[in-house]
Chains A and B, each alone.
Chain A
Amino acid sequence: MTLFDRLKQVASENPTGFTVKIPNLEPVTTGWVVAMKETQNSFGDEGLQRVIEVAQRTTQIVGGWKEGDLFYWDASFIVQSEKEAVQIGIENGQIAIFNLDTFEVKYL
């Protein structure tokens, strides 16, 4: 099964949202998660393909969630330092970032 197909399988089992490392698809459960500007508004199969390409050459972190009839995808940064996460979030034009340890949103 290709990485593309495996990610689609993870997505079907986690429609409310998921974030995994590629290529082993291990769930990411710790750290600050910051969405990558480069992959904003990526949806459908074409979007997933683009996100995989971006993630493979950058952070190796892929996530997705279902919104209505569409499945959205993104590549993300995962950092342990709040200061670094804030900086990356600002650089990527994010309104807020999320901490997977405390399950809290931080506005930038």
Chain B
Amino acid sequence: MFDLNEEVFGKAIVDNKASILRICRAYAIPPLETQDLFQDVVCQIWKSLANFKGKSELSTWIYRVTLNVCYRAHHTAKPKQQRTIQLDSILYEPIAPESTHEDIRYTMLRECISVLEDIDRSIIMLQLEGLPYKTIAEITGLTANNVAVRVKRIKPKLLECILTKQAKENDDEQ
């Protein structure tokens, strides 16, 4: 029998699974792994759901938690053996990419995102998630104007990086 918090928690995880996974995957540059980050996010949501005051949408709050967890993992990468909690009830199954081309495109995107400053990285991921500037501002603690200015600056940088990598990939193939 669930109490209200457990029900809210369960629904939160199921409804936001894909978003959490996308962000974790973007941060999962070795030694970090997607499944470990996902697990950490789930644990964090579990621990701090009682702290959610309802001032924003639950999904907005979950984005913030996910980014904070990934940010901390990125800056203090712990070897797997030192992890204190392993959750056996979360099962991971990597799926073969539809094409090598798709896989390469994703790797390029992730590499280009990874060279951005921390705050810019968060902003562009949230932009890719399709969130409005106002929501991105809520999550990052910036103003909506500041987010808009940064997005205008980050997008061309990201595109330039990807096109450069694609051009190099095409040259290498020839």
Decide if A and B are genuine partners.
Answer: no
By a beta-carbon cutoff of 8 Å, the part of chain B in contact with chain A is: none
By a beta-carbon cutoff of 8 Å, the part of chain A in contact with chain B is: none
